[in-house]
């Protein structure tokens, strides 16, 4: 694969821009500067440096982001900044074209924090987002009022939301404190957690009230700070799917 095409696929600009980066001596492989944009390289596993920043070739992008509060999961946010501004420009521009860059796998409200997946693999996004695949997502909830056992049982047996006559059930639910609970869902309706908590006569605290801690068996790492991101490993992808290596 030509070096200019590798850079283009990884989001470093148009093919002309990528060719210019190479010709101007801004790209190095194995410590050696390459000035020929058409040089053929094995893309898989390739590590390279662009303008002093190390990169690794990824045919498809699979990322995790620790979403902070005050960000919208939208390319065109209405009020708050976009989560995509937390990512490097090449990741936002991968592949070029109208559908360039990674997309969030589902959405978290602007005031919700926690684990968010992003990818440019449409099949992966569909598989993770579709309720047919029953991928469990765990939310840590802080309620405004004390949580009692009756509320927990209602969440487990099912509550009716105003846009769907079919009861919506939590896959799992347990109290973790007087005003806190851990809630597991396998589908993602609009504001679902907040509406389910409201349906049992309580409400989610407006500040730091909702945090997604896990998707499948993938736990949000404790060392990934709010606003931080990293590539998913092969083991991470197995964890998301609930599989073992």
Please give the full DSSP string across 171-221, using - where no structure is assigned. Answer: SEEEE-SSSEEEEEESS--TTHHHHHHHHTT--B-SSS-EEEEEETTEEPP
The CATH architecture assigned to 136-215 reads: 2-Layer Sandwich (3.30)
CA-CA distance, 83 to 44, in Å (whole number)?
28
Measuring CA to CA, how many Å separate 202 from each of 111, 180, 182? 18, 11, 15
Are 17 and 26 within 8 A, CB to CB?
Answer: no
What is the reported pTM? 0.92
**CATH topology agreement for domains 3-56 and 136-215:** no
Specify the pairing of strand 47-50 against strand 103-104.
unpaired
The domain locations on the chain are 3-56, 62-131+216-240, 136-215
Burial zone of 131 (CB within 10 Å; 0-12 exposed, 13-18 middle, 19+ buried) = exposed
Are 212 and 138 within 8 A, CB to CB?
Answer: yes
Tens-level pLDDT at each residue, the chain (245 residues): 999 999 999 999 999 999 999 999 999 999 999 999 999 999 999 999 999 999 999 999 999 999 999 999 998 989 999 999 999 999 999 877 666 789 999 899 999 999 999 999 999 999 898 878 889 999 999 999 999 999 999 999 999 988 778 899 999 999 999 999 999 999 878 889 999 999 999 999 988 899 999 999 999 999 999 999 999 999 999 999 877 65
CA-CA distance, 203 to 124, in Å (whole number)?
33
- Catalytic entry in 5, 35, 36, 109: 109
Domain 3-56 listed as CATH 3.10.290.10: yes
Burial zone of 156 (CB within 10 Å; 0-12 exposed, 13-18 middle, 19+ buried) = middle
5 catalytic? Reply is: no
Domain 62-131+216-240 listed as CATH 3.30.70.580: yes
């Amino acid at each position: 694969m030509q070096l200019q095409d590798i850079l283009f696929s990884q989001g470093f600009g148009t093919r002309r821009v990528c060719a210019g980066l190479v010709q101007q001596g801004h790209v190095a492989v194995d410590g050696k500067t390459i000035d020929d944009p058409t040089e053929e390289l094995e893309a898989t596993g390739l590590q390279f440096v662009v303008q002093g920043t190390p990169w690794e070739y990824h045919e498809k992008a699979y990322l995790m982001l620790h979403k902070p509060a005050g960000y919208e999961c939208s390319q065109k946010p209405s009020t708050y900044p976009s989560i995509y501004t937390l990512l490097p420009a090449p990741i936002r521009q991968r592949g070029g074209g109208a559908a360039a860059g990674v997309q969030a796998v589902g959405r978290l409200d602007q005031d919700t924090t926690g684990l968010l997946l992003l990818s440019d693999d449409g099949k992966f996004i569909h598989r993770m987002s579709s309720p047919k695949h029953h991928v469990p997502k765990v939310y840590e909830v802080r309620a405004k009022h004390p949580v009692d056992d009756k509320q927990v049982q209602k969440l487990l047996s099912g509550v009716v939301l105003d846009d769907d006559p079919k009861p919506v059930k939590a896959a799992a639910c347990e109290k973790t404190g007087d005003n806190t609970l851990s809630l597991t869902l396998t589908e993602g309706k609009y504001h679902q957690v907040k509406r389910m908590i409201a349906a049992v006569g309580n409400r989610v605290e407006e500040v730091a009230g909702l945090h997604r801690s896990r998707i499948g068996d993938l736990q949000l790492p404790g060392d990934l700070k709010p606003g931080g991101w990293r590539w998913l490993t092969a083991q991470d992808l197995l964890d998301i799917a609930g599989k073992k290596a």
